[in-house]
Amino acid sequence: MFDTGNTGFMLVATSLVMLMTPGLAFFYGGLVGRRNVLTIMIQSFVSMGVTTIIWWAYGYSLCFSGGEGGIIGNLDKIFMLGVTLHTPSPFGTGNIPEFVFMAYQMMFAIITPALITGAFSNRVRFGAYLLFLIGWLTLVYFPFVHMVWGNGLLAKLGVLDFAGGIVVHNIAGMAALASVLYVGRRRVGDSVPHSIPLVALGTGLLWFGWYGFNAGSELKVDAVTGVAFLNTDIAASFAGPVWMLLAWIFERKPKFLGLLTGAVAGLATITPCAGYVTPTSAAIIGILAGIVCYFAVNLKNRLKWDDALDVWGVHGVGGALGILLLGLMASKAVNEAGADGLLRGGGGFFMIQLLTVIGSSIYAFGFTYIMLWLINKVTRVRTSESEEEKGLDASLHGEEAYQGV
């Protein structure tokens, strides 16, 4: 009944996406100060447990059960009720088990809220973060998964998002911006990343896992899978050097950190486009990602937004840019299930993508800000000055990454 090749491929892709969350922990861990490494890393790792529980309990059902043409699904599949070893996936070709599809999508749910944590590093209490994790998944992430990938409202309107430009990166980046503006600036800043080698390790793991993130989103093995894989690598390979070159021009040094950050920006930007554009378009997308995201981060610095690890500039702006470039460059010659972009006469499709970026940004920003305000009524969100001065590893978790520091 099931295609063993496709099923095996999807299990590998699921494993690759799972690896991205530890990769993100290393990436963020290297960027913060030595006294806050464990705090930022536990926020990624705890999502692997908590999100899995929520996804199994009700998240998967809200995203992929019922609610055709709507904003959210129903609870028919809570606790995976009615799903057996022989139930085919309701999405894709249906030749993989639904359990495999459920596991694959669960890995996306795990990493998306973890992306946001880089923005408010060093100043949010752990209990408040756990409430934020649960609330944000339920009120922001699940509705967008359903609307875009669960045959919901945006899918019916013709919105395309191959692997998460809207569903993952744009809404996470806008949530990050809302978080920054709500919690305020750090009292004790990290002047430099404490370990660029850790950032490099995290980048490598993210880049490696991103092949499963993008190519796996085809949900089977075919030519589109191959082009999504190739486009992923091309975009990152162009964006990284472009960011480094801009740093060389404006900061007088070819920064390794710039190369790494630029590569991640390219990966985020190509995500919605990966299975819908040509490799040549992917190269252009990578170049534009390096340029636009570099200047977005510089704008953030001039505006004095304390987005500590540039989540808005890399993921928010990169995801939005990718959705718009998809509206510009998409080609049905690459993927018949896609659309033709503005450059091929698809003006209506481009407008749909543009309006979706605007709407998703407003929704994610507004709901996140309100949610943090409500959480603060239950438990204090912001850490105290003494906790920040001591370092959150010791003050919140009673552990230290580096003894004697």
- For the whole prediction, is pTM greater than 0.85? yes
Q: Tell me 382's DSSP state.
A: B
CB 209 within 8 A of CB 26: no
**Alpha-carbon gap, residue 364 to 376, rounded angstroms:** 18
* Residue 172: count of CB within 10 angstroms of its CB: 30
Q: Which residue has the higher pLDDT, 141 or 308?
A: 141
- Report the range of poorest mean pLDDT among 22-26, 164-168, 288-292, 300-304: 300-304
Q: Would you state the pLDDT for residue 388? A: 87
Give the pLDDT confidence score for residue 403 in this predicted structure: 77
Please compute the mean of the pLDDT values over residues 159-187 and round it to a whole number: 94
192, pLDDT greater than 80: no
> What pLDDT sits at residue 191?
62
Is it the case that residue 189 has pLDDT exceeding 90?
no
Give residue 137's pLDDT.
Answer: 97
Question: Per-residue pLDDT for 17 more than 80?
Answer: yes
Report the percent of the chain where pLDDT is more than 70: 99
Answer whether residue 405 shows pLDDT above 60: no
Q: Which residue has the tokens 């994790």?
A: 133
As a whole number of Å, the end-to-end CA separation of the chain is: 58
pLDDT bracket for residue 94 (50, 70, 90): confident
pLDDT tops 60 at residue 123 = yes
Q: What is the mean pLDDT of residues 272-287?
A: 97
Confidence of residue 393 (pLDDT cuts 50, 70, 90): confident
Helix (H) or strand (E) holding 278: none
Judge residue 230's burial from the number of C-beta atoms within 10 Å of its C-beta, 0-12 exposed, 13-18 middle, 19 or more buried.
middle
pLDDT for position 389:
86
- Position 188 scores a pLDDT of 76
Residue 190, pLDDT > 80, answer no
Distance between CA 212 and CA 271 in Å, rounded? 11
Q: Which helix (H) or strand (E) holds 341?
A: none
**All domains in the chain, ordered by first residue:** 4-397 (1.10.3430.10)
- Of residues 130, 129, 139, the one with CA closest to residue 50: 130
Among 244, 142, 122, CA closest to 184:
122
- The average pLDDT across 226-232 equals 98
Residues 303, 305, 308, 314, CA torsion sign: negative
Cα pseudo-dihedral 323, 327, 332, 337, rounded to 10? 50
Query: What pLDDT score does 278 carry?
Result: 97
If we measure between CA atoms, which residue out of 131, 141, 134 comes closest to residue 377?
131
Spatial CA neighbour of 156 closest among 236, 246, 222, 68: 68
* pLDDT, tens only, 341-357: 999 999 999 999 999 99
Residue 296 is predicted with a pLDDT of 96
Mean pLDDT of the chain: 94
**DSSP, residue by residue, 73-142:** --STTGGGTT--TTPBPSSTTS-SBHHHHHHHHHHHHHHHHHHHTTTTTTSB-HHHHHHHHHHHIIIIIH
Per-residue pLDDT band at 302 (split at 50, 70, 90): very high
Higher-pLDDT residue of 184, 96: 96
Position 159 scores a pLDDT of 97
What pLDDT, on the 0 to 100 scale, is given for residue 402? 87
pLDDT band at 404; cut points 50, 70, 90: low
**pLDDT at position 327 over 70:** yes
